[in-house]
């Protein structure tokens, strides 16, 4: 169930929970939902209240199920709140999931004009932006192909290009950029930054804490449908990470074999040199990783990769199982697989790190991504790296060669 009174203007967003409970179906006792802790009623959002000024870029963070996407759906008029209401003044561009508002039978060209019309734009306005949208999405060759034939990456590129380029006063972006490649993510983040500099309002939901702190001066953290903290992004991110992101040495799939017809991850585990699972490593100690996954059908080209990020979301490095193969696309037959690698000791500076695992066909398809599969911490060591207080996310000891040259 949902609970909010939402008023969204081009210059401010006001959420006012002080309203009469509306229950036209007569199916739920509002008193039992609020007062009885054992009630089966679950509020997706409750007592959420905040204000957004014109031109602000607001980050919204929280765990899965905290109510972030529900909030954006209410603002987008996709979901009607059980209690309260939303008044919206100004054009709203929404990108809540890949291809929101697209009709699969229509071509990319037709969907651009359809989305523009939904936003209230005239045909002439859409035509003026058309080439810019197509160039940004990089789908020129397929613009007259029905979007049902697009890959997930092509779908995402066009959907984001339409949402960001059709001049909405308010842009709502959910965590959809995670399915794009790194280059496209940077391109989208750059575009959102440009939209913000033009004075438009952006509400940005993301698990990428680096993007949140870089794009948003202010953020809101939701938990179980309520606002936990609202303030400067760096303070909100620190609070969220301290509250929710704990070191975790192992991830296991809950549904045993997953879904889809490509690749599904089954287990990710971190261990020390003795093979013992752990999430705490000394600065000079190597970090060993083991990934278990299943391939369901023959794949002509597929990479299993991982991305190491700091607790702030800054990417340290990315590596895949193709790094030492000499080829970029590795054939994989159906079956169960186990792949391993190690991060050498002394390479990472002390701190907390998140590890993402993913399976993809480069530049074409993403089979599966597990965000923050494991979280580990590197503690200071007594080595030279720690003793001399050098700066940097990575602190490798490089082989230097020095020669004393004769005076000329």
**Range 404-408 average pLDDT:** 84
pLDDT at 29: 40
Domain spanning 6-244, CATH architecture: 3-Layer(aba) Sandwich (3.40)
Residues 6+ apart with CB under 8 A from 230: 50, 218, 219, 220, 221, 236
Res. 162: pLDDT tops 90? no
pLDDT at 402: 85
pTM above 0.75, yes or no: no
Fold classified for 250-381: Coagulation Factor XIII; Chain A, domain 1 (2.70.50)
**Range from 86-90, 140-144, 372-376 carrying the lowest mean pLDDT:** 86-90
Q: What is the per-residue pLDDT across 332-364, written as a single tens digit (0 to 9) for each?
A: 889 999 999 999 998 998 888 989 999 988 877
Which of 259, 328, 341 minimizes the C-alpha distance to 300?
Answer: 328
pLDDT at 374: 92
Q: Where do the DSSP E strands lie in 96-224?
A: 170-173, 201-205, 218-223
**Range 260-266 average pLDDT:** 83
Domain ranges of the chain: 6-244, 250-381
Contact 172, 93 (CB under 8 A): yes
Which of 8, 16, 19, 12 minimizes the C-alpha distance to 75?
Answer: 8
- Same CATH topology for 6-244 and 250-381: the answer is no
φ/ψ bin of 7: left (φ > 0), alpha (ψ from -120 to 50), beta (otherwise) = beta
Q: What is the per-residue pLDDT across 125-150, written as a single tens digit (0 to 9) for each?
A: 889 989 998 998 888 899 999 988 88
Res. 392: pLDDT tops 60? yes
Res. 120: pLDDT tops 80? no
Contact 352, 324 (CB under 8 A): no
pLDDT at 26: 33
pLDDT at 287: 95
- The winner for highest mean pLDDT among 158-162, 263-267, 381-385, 399-403 is 263-267
∠ CA 394-398-404, nearest 5°, is 145
> How far is the C-alpha of 226 from the C-alpha of 228, rounded, in Å?
6
Mean pLDDT, the chain, integer: 79
| pLDDT bracket for residue 317 (50, 70, 90) | very high
If one compares 233 and 255, the residue with the highest pLDDT of the two is 233
**Range from 223-232, 246-255, 280-289 carrying the lowest mean pLDDT:** 246-255
pLDDT at 24: 34
**Range 382-393 average pLDDT:** 68
Q: What percent of the chain has pLDDT over 90?
A: 21
Q: What is the per-residue pLDDT across 23-39, written as a single tens digit (0 to 9) for each?
A: 333 333 444 344 444 45
pLDDT at 72: 86
pLDDT at 31: 43
CA torsion sign for 30, 35, 36, 42 is positive
Contact 316, 392 (CB under 8 A): no
| pLDDT bracket for residue 328 (50, 70, 90) | low
Res. 220: pLDDT tops 70? yes
* Cα torsion through 222, 115, 202, 160, rounded to 10: 80
Res. 91: pLDDT tops 80? no
If one compares 134 and 116, the residue with the highest pLDDT of the two is 134
Which of 92, 62, 90, 312 minimizes the C-alpha distance to 203?
Answer: 92
**Range 215-219 average pLDDT:** 88
Q: What is the per-residue pLDDT across 4-22, written as a single tens digit (0 to 9) for each?
A: 434 443 344 444 444 333 3
| pLDDT bracket for residue 327 (50, 70, 90) | low
Res. 178: pLDDT tops 70? no
Res. 181: pLDDT tops 80? no
């Amino acid at each position: 169930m949902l609970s909010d009174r939402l008023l969204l203007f081009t210059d401010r967003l006001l959420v006012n929970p002080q309203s009469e409970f509306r229950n036209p179906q007569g199916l739920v006792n509002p008193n039992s939902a609020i007062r009885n802790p054992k009630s089966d009623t679950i509020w997706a959002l409750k007592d959420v209240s905040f204000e957004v000024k014109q031109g602000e870029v607001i980050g919204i963070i929280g765990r899965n199920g905290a109510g972030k996407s529900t909030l954006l759906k209410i603002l987008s008029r996709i979901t009607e709140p059980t209690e309260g209401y939303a008044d919206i003044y100004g054009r709203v561009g929404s990108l809540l999931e890949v291809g929101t508002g697209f009709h699969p039978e229509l071509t990319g060209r037709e969907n651009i004009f359809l989305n523009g019309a939904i936003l209230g734009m005239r045909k002439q306005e859409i035509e003026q932006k058309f080439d810019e949208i197509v160039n940004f999405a990089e789908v020129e060759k397929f613009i007259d192909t029905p979007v049902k034939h697009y890959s997930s990456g092509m779908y995402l590129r066009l959907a984001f290009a339409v949402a960001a380029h059709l001049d909405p006063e308010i842009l709502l972006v959910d965590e959809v950029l995670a399915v794009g490649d790194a280059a496209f993510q940077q391109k989208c983040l750059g575009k959102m930054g440009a939209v913000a500099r033009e004075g438009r309002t952006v509400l940005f939901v993301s698990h990428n804490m680096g993007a949140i702190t870089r794009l948003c001066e202010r953020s809101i953290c939701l938990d179980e449908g309520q606002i936990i903290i609202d303030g400067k992004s760096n303070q909100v991110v620190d609070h969220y990470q301290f509250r929710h992101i704990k070191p975790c040495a192992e991830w296991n799939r809950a549904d045993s074999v997953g879904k889809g017809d490509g690749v599904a991850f089954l287990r990710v585990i971190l261990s020390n040199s003795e093979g013992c699972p752990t999430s705490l490593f000394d600065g000079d100690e190597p970090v060993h990783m083991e990934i278990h996954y299943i391939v369901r059908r023959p794949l002509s080209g597929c990479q299993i990769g991982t991305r190491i990020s700091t607790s702030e979301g800054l990417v340290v490095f990315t590596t895949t199982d193709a790094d030492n193969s000499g080829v970029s696309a590795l054939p994989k037959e159906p079956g169960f697989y186990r792949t391993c690698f190690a991060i050498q000791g002394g390479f990472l500076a002390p701190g907390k790190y998140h590890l993402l695992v993913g399976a993809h066909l480069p530049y074409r398809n993403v089979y599966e991504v597990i965000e923050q599969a494991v979280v580990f911490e590197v503690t200071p060591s007594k080595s030279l790296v720690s003793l001399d207080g050098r700066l940097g996310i990575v602190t490798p000891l490089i082989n230097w060669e020095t020669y004393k040259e004769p005076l000329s």
